[in-house]
Structure 1
Amino acid sequence: MTDYGHDLLFGAFITPTARPPTHAVELAEAAERAGLDLVTFQDHPYQPAFLDTWTLLSYVAARTRRVRLSGNVINLPLRHPAVLARSAATLDLLSGGRFELGLGAGGFWDAIEAMGGPRRSPGQAVEALEEAIEIIRELWDTGERGGVRFDGEHYRLEGAKRGPAPAHDIGIWVGAYKPRMLRLTGRVADGWLPSLPYLPGGPADLAEMNRRIDEGAASAGRDPSAVRRLLNISGRFSPSRGSLLSGPPRQWAEELAEISLRHGVSGFILMADDAAALELFAAEVAPATRELVAAGRAG
């Protein structure tokens, strides 16, 4: 059993579909009304069927008051880290400290290259992501004097001005699956954000992946609990019990509590574009899961 000690949070993973253009916004507003903690959007700038995720995040931030926001995850190859740092800090300031930075190394390289972005090997993608995280944190650090100079394999800064500083310590959550990326997450990230449907072995895969993150944290002298573990999930609500996350809300709560207590996951983000499912997730699954995890921790 692994428990990293974080409070639970529950969120929504909403498709940023462009037709109708207000659909994703309305779902985000519904998620906030329902009481969810977090609203996230995938980021595929090469996909014309989607709204631009950064513009959408900014618009939703202006239409909401409480819910936290994040990309899930932001496409690094098409968003330069120096500009991304300023964009993230700006959105965090304007939203009252409600932004978290989900960040991905990229993957659909043909589409990225078609948009003018770089084509990177798996090793290069890891290197670029680590460089980007360092650059972003340096630009947020307005306590240091002088501009930021960085001479990396993938990015170069020649005295870039620091700031603005974000309203709160923005968490950098990395979407990662492979060993090198998992170890990087442990070394430098604040959170890990995979998707359950992409794990061939289901929740059982989390144990080995957590181990690699913990190894990365230890190699950098960090406490593994410094890395929050989140999980995008999908499923189906129904009156009768079925397979994993296919059944009534109580079954969902029991299964999510088991994942939390066994694998240390403290954030569950429902991949759904249906307001009724988000409302049920917030009203019944989230509180029941919190109660079960609290009881398990106390025991």
Structure 2
Amino acid sequence: MTQMTDYGHDLLFGTFVTPSAQGAGHVLDLAVTADRSGLDLVTFQDHPYQPTFLDTWTLLSYVAARTERVHLSGNVLSLPLRPPAVLARAAASLDRLSGGRVELGLGAGAFWDGIAAMGGRRLTPGQGVDALREAVTIIREIWDTETRGGVRLDGTYYQAAGAKRGPAPAHDIPVWIGAYKKRMLALTGEIGDGWLPTIEYLPDGVDSLPGINARIDEAAVSAGRSPGDVRRLMNFMNVRFSPAGRGLLDGPVDQWVEQLAGLALEHGVTAYLIGGDDVATTERFAAEVAPAVRDVVARERGEA
């Protein structure tokens, strides 16, 4: 296996769950299954304008109380309908209540008709990037209780006029950014702790990764950071265990292991979040795939 881009992060395995209101019990079963089976992350789509979905933040809070060890995140939270200062306090509060198990996935916004219908501000893609930058600044400032004085930002899209700092989260919550276009990818490299896309939305799938990684890396270096400061995560919506290999994460366990290990060692993707909303698939992913991928990657890194 040829190593091209490995940022050396530990591997994370988790789920990307549809927060169906009609199937609320099944949603909870999926989260509890991930927790009991030893997965690292449970994440939920966030579309507040979607009436068939549970509210994601309410769901995160409920799941945090029903689980013990798994970490939780929106994937990704719709920033135009989640005021950043309030979101910062909510995330820090749930992080403290859950024993440090909250992560923060953020998106600049999509489905603008739905956002506007809910009273959100309609932004162009360029405006969304600038708004996200301001929001992340406010969020991190709210969490920073070591600095004296209130949070002040007179931004174009968000303002903070002396907001009190705190509470501090129980652990350093990473900000993972859902990004696809050039400016958002550059922003991810400049200020993000992680890049969180969905593989099916990348224009050329896995073949898109070298160019995207290069753009994130370049932006990170230009900002005085290391490319390794940005974890690379990935959602996989269409997954299936099947006897014959048909494609990415559609085949036998050995194929899954080879593909995910390759993503880590060749493209630096070290967090894998599977969709499908299936309990049996979740259990098998945890029991058979995750340990084997960890073994392969540890062996290859050791040889390197």
SS of the aligned residue for 2:133 comes to helix
1:24 to 23, 27, 35: 27
Alignment of 1:282 onto 2:266: no
Secondary structure of the residue that 1:22 maps to in structure 2?
Answer: helix
Q: Is the 8 A contact 2:263 2:270 kept in 1?
A: no
Question: CA shift at 1:205, angstroms?
Answer: 0.4
Q: How far did residue 243 of structure 1 move?
A: 2.1
Paired AA for residue 275 in structure 2: M
State the 1:34 CA deviation: 1.4
CA distance in 2, matches of 1:37, 1:244: 21
Say yes or no: does 1:269 pair with 2:269: no
Cα-to-partner distance string for 1:69-96 (whole Å, 9 max, x where unaligned) = 0000001000100000000000100000
Q: Which amino acid aligns with 1:9?
A: L
Deviation of the 1:255 alpha carbon: 0.7
Q: Residue deviations 1:220-256, cap 9 Å, x none? A: 1001101110001132111222222211111100011
**Correspondent of 2:50 among 43, 47, 52:** 47
Shift of 1:190: 0.5
Give 1:25 deviation, angstroms: 1.1
Find the residue that maps to 1:99 and give its secondary structure. Answer: coil
CA drift of 1:272 comes to 2.0
- CA distance in 1 between counterparts of 2:150 and 2:249 reads 49
Alignment match, 1:228: 231
- What is the CA-CA distance between 1:57 and the residue it aligns to? 0.1
Task: For residue 109 of structure 1, report the CA deviation from its aligned partner.
Answer: 0.4
- Which residue of the partner structure matches residue 258 of structure 1? 262
Q: Quick one: distance in 1 between partners of 2:228 and 2:214? A: 12
Q: Distance in 1 between matches of 2:276 and 2:36?
A: 16
Quote how far apart the aligned CAs of 1:27 are: 0.8
4+ residue segments displaced more than 6 Å: none
Kindly provide the CA deviation profile for residues 117-174 of structure 1, in whole angstroms up to 9, marking residues without a partner as x: 0010111000000000000000100001111111001011111000000000001000
Residues 80-229 of structure 1: matches in 2 within 5 Å? 80-229=83-232
Matched to 2:77, the amino acid is I
- One-letter amino acid of the structure 1 residue matched with residue 10 of structure 2: D
CA separation in 1, counterparts of 2:245 and 2:273?
Answer: 21
Q: Which runs of 5+ in 2 are unaligned?
A: none
Q: Deviations over 1:9-55 (max 9, x none)?
A: 10001110001322211110011111111000000000010000000
Q: Would you say how many aligned residue pairs link Structure 1 and Structure 2?
A: 299
Secondary structure of 1:30 counterpart: helix
Question: C-alpha separation between the residues in 2 aligned to 1:171 and 1:84?
Answer: 14
Tell me how far apart the structure 2 counterparts of residues 257 and 128 of structure 1 sit (CA, whole Å): 35
2-side partners of 1:284 and 1:239: how far apart? Answer: 15
TM-score (norm. length: structure 1): 0.99
Letter of the 2:144 counterpart = D
Matched position secondary structure for 1:285: helix
The aligned counterpart of 1:244 is 248
Do the aligned residues in 1 keep the contact of 2:45 with 2:75 (CA within 8 Å)? Answer: yes
Q: Is 1:293 paired with 2:278?
A: no
| RMSD between superposed Cα atoms in Å | 0.8
Q: SS state of the match for residue 70, structure 1?
A: strand
* In structure 2, distance between residues paired with 1:144 and 1:5: 32
Q: Which residue of 2 aligns with 1:10?
A: 13
State percent identity of aligned pairs: 66
Q: TM-score normalised to the size of structure 2?
A: 0.97
